[in-house]
Chain A
Amino acid sequence: MSYTDATIQVLSPEGTIVENDTTAPYLPLVTKLSDAELQEMHRQMVVIRRFDIEAANLQRQGQLALWIPSLGQEAAQVGSGTATRPQDHIFPAYREHVIARMRGVDLIKIIEMLRGLTHGGWDPKASNNFHLYSVVLASQALHSTGYAMGLTLDGVTATGNPEKDEAVIVYFGDGASSQGDASEALVFAASYNTPQVFFLQNNHWAISVPVTRQSRTPLYKRPSGFGIPGVQIDGNDVLASYAVTRTVLDEARAGQGPRFIEALTYRMGAHTTSDDPTKYRDDSELDFWTAHDPIQRFDTFLRAKGAEQSFFDSIAEEGEDLAADIRARTLTLGVPQTSEIFDHVYTEAHTLMDEQSAWLAAFEASFEGSGA
């Protein structure tokens, strides 16, 4: 599966704006972006890619249990993340590191999770409504739909004021699209007319299984059977990702119901550091997508618009600084308190927690030199 006639592309792979009937509704949104806003998108993409490489290196050096790269998917994420409004609620899968960063999550929290220190790590309410990663595929789709139902019940959406009306965006992938929870979320979303956007990043591979095994039809067509409009975008085009997401999120927040975007992109690296894509995919495919690299395309576009070399130098340096900072902080991370095994399993007293945590503390204290 690759680009189709239906794929909405605002920025061509050559870095020029595509002007046609399909892009016409979106071009005003793009034109409205200032140079500073455009450069901010590029900065986010470049910096997160440097971070991503550093984190993968840390895993290879034994510092992380696992790393989940987002290499190649930066435009789909930065564009859609930029399209959200401050009052929106974001339910990620587990690869949306850059959106976490854009929402104010300290990336070390993601590192901590993948180092084996936490199962979550950040407070969604203190992170501009960026919810926790969800590792069981598509489970978060239902949570996001329930949350969106709550927005409707609370009356904080569809009042006609896009500056205040709240909406939900949920991220999932081509693999997750096969899960029952993904379909059930579409059923509930349609039934309750939720203010919600389903953002499917089709990166073409669910670990080693190609998207053709997940679906015989393009995935953007699937929601139409649920009564939800779906569109396909070039997910390596940050402007398409921005403009289309902005449009459908505003439709959803205006009470027009849920929307669905399939963003065609490519997992340029491995699924995780435990994976070996050389066993199952051809170099030619990677070559095609390397030629469609989201960052290169936008780089060309910005230079043609007059961005100066000093800008590109500064964001490269910021990436280096972030990588160095993450590396340094990773190496100083400690070990969680043993009590965290039991803390927060329940919010109220539970005898098994009390008995077992007391037993473990006494057991540990019983060893010679334990200091107890």
Chain B
Amino acid sequence: MTIESLSMAKALTAGLRAAMTADPKVILMGEDIGPLGGVFRVTEGLHAEFGGNRVMDTPLAESGIVGTAIGLAMRGYRPVVEIQFDGFIFPAFDQITTQLAKLTLRHEGRQTFPVVIRVPFGGHIGAIEHHQESPESYFAHTPGLRVISPSNPHDAYWMIQEAIASNDPVMFFEPKSRYWPKGDVDLSASGWPTYASRVVREGTDVTLVGYGPMVSMLLQAADVAAEEGTSAEVIDLRSLSPIDYAPLLASVQKTGRIVVASEAPGSVSVASEIAATIAERAFYSLEAPVLRVTGFDTPFPPAKLETKYLPDVDRILEAVDRSLAY
């Protein structure tokens, strides 16, 4: 076992380096990812190590980046695209949802499109408009894409490598607010399948489920709940497409109560989908309605209002209280 303490940003750098070392067809594309190392420094050092042909500073055009990545994938490359910020992904929406997502089917499986699109996402960083959004539901809604999001450095290190190894297109949502805290990364083994959700804290009274930036928030809420005598089980979803429901259903059968949390607007979202599926599949286990704690159905507000907008420990606990009241 080789354990290193790394931030998520540096765990991703290490994961990218490992993937590039293992396979010369892995190339990185994006804005400012070369000598600068990306605005979050996730690709720092890789340009110097692998050169400009494998760490490509592209022109500033998201549709162009994804569209040319598709062409490179047709040629046998495994492009890893960095979208600089969540809110800048939409110029590439057609190339992602109508081209990349459908091209394997259009080719009847004869040609694969192993493109990874890395998207720093979410709030809590006090940034200006278009820099704190959570657009993952659009992509989880799109057939043909896989959507995953690590919540900690260990998962980040392994999940980015597994995303690159996948022959399907993968949307890789990186929680910006979790880029900097360090955590233990076991460099010898991942220990968990990429598309499997995972119980990260066991409990008996209520199930809390989230992904990416929400997992640490749910763990904090569980700590506070424990002080108040409530035992919360916390599940890290990890994959948004496909969603691994088995641990959620097993948990709800035990607790009878579930709260789903995400930063994204809640209406017609991943959180909604989980709520609907739990209601369909665990109806007789539920002691309370499935509750959602999400961002509001508004554009992300100016940063000085983000703490009012984003789910926090208090809002999670308020939902726990409501659930327990049934």
Count of chain A residues with a beta carbon within 8 Å of a chain B beta carbon: 40
- B105 neighbours in A (Cβ, 8 Å): 119-120, 344-345
For the complex, what is the distance from the CA of A120 to the CA of B241, rounded to whole Å?
A: 25
Count of chain B residues with a beta carbon within 8 Å of a chain A beta carbon: 44
Residue of B59, B94, B107 touching A136 (CB-CB under 8 A): B94
A31 within 8 A of B: no
Q: Which among B67, B104, B110, B112 has the highest number of chain A CB atoms within 10 Å?
A: B67
Nearest CB on B from A197, distance (A): 15
Q: 16 new A-B pairs (CB below 8 Å) besides A142-B71, A146-B73, A345-B144?
A: A118-B108, A136-B94, A142-B63, A146-B75, A150-B76, A153-B72, A181-B67, A181-B95, A184-B61, A184-B67, A185-B68, A187-B61, A191-B58, A348-B167, A350-B146, A352-B242
* B107 closest partner in A (C-beta): A120
For the complex, what is the distance from the CA of A307 to the CA of B94, rounded to whole Å?
A: 50
- A149 neighbours in B (Cβ, 8 Å): 68, 71-72
* B102 closest partner in A (C-beta): A119
The 9 lowest CB-CB distance pairs between A and B, nearest first, are A146-B71, A142-B67, A150-B75, A146-B68, A184-B64, A344-B109, A147-B71, A120-B106, A143-B71
B168 within 8 A of A: yes
A151 within 8 A of B: yes
Label chain A's interface by main secondary structure: helix
Q: Which among A139, A143, A147 has the highest number of chain B CB atoms within 10 Å?
A: A143
Residues of chain A in range 338-359 having any CB-CB distance to chain B below 8 Å: 343-348, 350-352
What 1/0 mask marks residues of chain B from 102 to 137 whose CB sits below 8 Å from any chain A CB?
Answer: 101111111110000000000000000000000000
* Pair A125/B110 contact, Cβ less than 8 Å: yes
For the complex, what is the distance from the CA of A347 to the CA of B73, rounded to whole Å?
A: 14
Pull 8 A–B residue pairs with CB atoms less than 8 Å apart, ordered by A: A142-B70, A143-B70, A149-B68, A150-B74, A181-B63, A191-B58, A347-B168, A351-B244
Seen from chain B, the residues whose Cβ lies within 8 Å of a Cβ on chain A are: 27, 53, 58-59, 61, 63-64, 66-77, 91, 94-95, 98-99, 102, 104-112, 143-144, 146, 166-168, 241-244
- B27 neighbours in A (Cβ, 8 Å): 153
* Pair A145/B102 contact, Cβ less than 8 Å: no
* Pair A143/B67 contact, Cβ less than 8 Å: yes
For the complex, what is the distance from the CA of A349 to the CA of B252, rounded to whole Å?
A: 25
**How many residue-residue contacts, CB under 8 A, span A and B?**
135
* Pair A351/B76 contact, Cβ less than 8 Å: no
- B59 neighbours in A (Cβ, 8 Å): 184, 187-188, 191
A265 within 8 A of B: no
For the complex, what is the distance from the CA of A107 to the CA of B287, rounded to whole Å?
A: 61
Residue of B107, B108, B168 touching A346 (CB-CB under 8 A): B168
Seen from chain A, the residues whose Cβ lies within 8 Å of a Cβ on chain B are: 118-121, 123-125, 131-132, 136, 139, 141-151, 153-154, 180-181, 184-185, 187-188, 191, 343-348, 350-352
For the complex, what is the distance from the CA of A131 to the CA of B74, rounded to whole Å?
A: 10
Q: Quick one: given A139-B94, A184-B61, A185-B64, are A146 and B99 in contact (CB under 8 Å)?
A: no
* Pair B166/A150 contact, Cβ less than 8 Å: no
* B109 closest partner in A (C-beta): A344
- A343 neighbours in B (Cβ, 8 Å): 108-109
* Pair A351/B242 contact, Cβ less than 8 Å: yes
- B67 neighbours in A (Cβ, 8 Å): 139, 141-143, 145-146, 181, 184-185
Nearest CB on A from B167, distance (A): 4
Nearest CB on A from B88, distance (A): 14
For the complex, what is the distance from the CA of A147 to the CA of B112, rounded to whole Å?
A: 14
* Pair B144/A346 contact, Cβ less than 8 Å: yes
For the complex, what is the distance from the CA of A153 to the CA of B94, rounded to whole Å?
A: 26
Nearest CB on A from B128, distance (A): 24
* B105 closest partner in A (C-beta): A344
For the complex, what is the distance from the CA of A119 to the CA of B99, rounded to whole Å?
A: 12
